Amino acid sequence: MARTRSKPAIKDPVPASTSAATAALPPSALDPPKLFILPTGASPAARIVTLPNPVTASPTRYFFCPKTGFYEFTKIAAPKKVSRSWLLAPHKAAEDRLHKITNSPEEVSQQGAGNSDKHDSAENIIDTPLISKGYITKSADLFVATPLDLMFLILPALSPISSVSKESQKQLFLSLDDYLDALSASSPHLKQLLLNSKLQDKISRRMAAICDIVDAGDEKMYRLSQRKLLAALLSKAERMAKEGLPTSMEEKFVRSVLEIPIMSVRREESELGSAPQTGPIPVGEGEEATEDKSQSATQSFGTATPVTTTGDSQSPITSSSTVSSLVTPTLPEVALSKPPSTAPEGILHLLRIRTILTFIFSSYIPPHLHKQLQALLQDTKSPDFAPLDAHLSHIASMHSQVQALRSLSDNISRKRGFEGDDEAAEARAEKKRMKEEEEKRKKNESKAVKQLKKVDTTGMKKLSAFFVKVGSKK
């Protein structure tokens, strides 16, 4: 997820650049307008602010609304190869209130009536010829503001890097004001924002969720508790997993990881063939049971997925659980010996949780905390990742088995498969011919000639150094 790198913070980027936009065939604007989708109902005091990124500590832009809190920007862009642009067309409703317009019509159309607040706030900018007459932006980037937990922003202040470097030493309990001082020192923008007492309240509430607290007289003292932090993260992960992962993440980190190598197809056939003779009843029952389970799991996933997610995001879930339910009958002996390794619904869920945690860690948690949190995560029993690890190692071993099998038995057929490339085949044939010729030459070589090749000719110049070439006689 690309973080935004938009131009210097202005409350709303559109009005600032409108003048450049309408000149007749001007040189393309140096600082073209950018499209934002801002949250509905943001208060007029909402600002785009520059704060240090919790992970990299580099200045990053966030959207801050005193009422609803912080939002981060997510850049949605077409791949570089695909040339796309935004055509900002005048919106009818927007034209009607031309004097009021501050947002691009695109935004108006996407957000509907939600941003009336902003219109008011920007009402004083009337003189500019408006972008709503139509405008094309070169890059088809869209910045979407998505809510961001305040907790992540205050994490760097709660656990400065220095606190981790001195390992054994316990971090001190500090008052809220101390933390606020640290925060405002990190960014001038934040300093301004912290003057708002509402935000201070919010911060103290979020801190309470992830900190150990002691009362010192009338003041509360806070210290970051990694256990609490992890619990908070886990609950976030649980919530996200329940909603279902975005399709691309599901595909890449969950489905492909759990994919069982093709080998199982052949094994399935052999199993079916041999089943009647070996008294298949217990195995068969086990199969059905697991299949039922996974089916119900699929269903529950299906119902759990909220309406907002598209049909796309459901399909991988369904197919992945069908994949794993297909797997169960193919490996009955494994299933009997290691029942947890084929419990797909639990595994799926665990893997999702782990994927989400990895994502959260890499996007929001300061790197120096990773090690300790990972260690804590290992110890924790509430989501026990042991079955997942077992299952993953099982899949890995199957992969290596298949690899070994392929290199043994599939060798020939795979070679044939490669030969589809005509050019390569030709080159190979040529090479073979050359090699054969060379071999033939070698066979024809007399023994003495071969021995002469071994003679040490160091210090002997080639005869062409003495005699002049006169061109090869035909």
Partner 1 sequence: MLEARLEQANLLKKVVDAIKDLVQDCNFDCNDSGIALQAMDNSHVALVSMMLKSESFSPFRCDRNIALGINLTSLTKVLRCAQNEDILTLKAEDAPDVVNLVFESAESDRLSEYDIKLMDIDQEHLGIPETEYGAVIKMPSAEFQRICRDLIALSESVSIECSKEGVKFACQGDIGSGSVTLRSHTNVDKPELNVEIDLTEPVALTFSLKYLVNFCKASGLSGQVKLCLSNEVPLLVEYALSNNSYLRFYLAPKIGDEE
279 membership: H or E segment, kind and range? none
Residue 436 touches partner 1, criterion: CB under 8 A: no
Is 80 a residue that touches partner 1 (CB under 8 A)? no
Does 439 engage in binding with partner 1 (CB under 8 A)?
Answer: no
Q: Which is nearer to partner 1, 425 or 434 (CB)?
A: 434
Judged by CB under 8 A, which of 169, 378, 382, 472 binds partner 1?
A: 472
From 171-179, 193-201, 252-260, 445-453, give the range in contact with partner 1 by CB under 8 A: 445-453
SS3 sequence, 354-369? HHHHHHHHHHHCCHHH
Strands (DSSP E) found in 3-141: 35-37, 47-52, 59-65, 69-76, 86-88, 135-137
In angstroms, what is the minimal distance from the CB of 264 to partner 1?
57
Query: In the Cβ-directed half-sphere of 154, how many Cα atoms lie within 13 Å?
Result: 30
Q: Which residue has the tokens 């002469």?
A: 452
> Is 458 one of the binding residues for partner 1 (CB under 8 A)?
yes
Nearer to partner 1, 307 or 470 (CB): 470
Burial class (CB in 10 A: 0-12, 13-18, 19+), 195: exposed
Helix (H, G, I), strand (E, B) or coil at 50: strand
- Compute the least distance from the CB of residue 447 to partner 1, in Å: 8
Give residue for tokens 């642009």: 85
Question: If binding is defined by CB under 8 A, does position 177 make contact with partner 1?
Answer: no
Question: Which amino acid is located at 104 in the chain?
Answer: S
382 or 444, CB closer to partner 1? Answer: 444
Q: Is 75 helix (H, G, I), strand (E, B) or coil?
A: strand
Whose Cβ is closer to partner 1: residue 166's or residue 453's?
A: 453
Minimum CB separation from partner 1 for residue 457, in Å? 5
Single-letter amino acid code for the residue at 4: T
Residues whose CB falls within 8 Å of the CB of residue 466, separated by 6 or more in sequence, listed in order: none
Q: Is 434 in the site for partner 1 (CB under 8 A)?
A: no
Span near partner 1 by CB under 8 A; candidates 187-195, 328-336, 398-406, 451-459: 451-459
Number of residues in contact with partner 1 under rule CB under 8 A: 29
Q: How far is the CB of 440 from partner 1 (least distance, A)?
A: 10
| Residue 92 binds partner 1 (CB under 8 A) | no
Q: Is 471 in the site for partner 1 (CB under 8 A)?
A: yes
Cα separation, 348 vs 255, in Å, equals 9
Q: How far is the CB of 420 from partner 1 (least distance, A)?
A: 35
User: What are residue 446's phi and psi, to 5 degrees?
Assistant: -80, 160
The residues that touch partner 1, with contacts defined as CB under 8 A, are 441, 444-446, 448-449, 451-453, 455-474
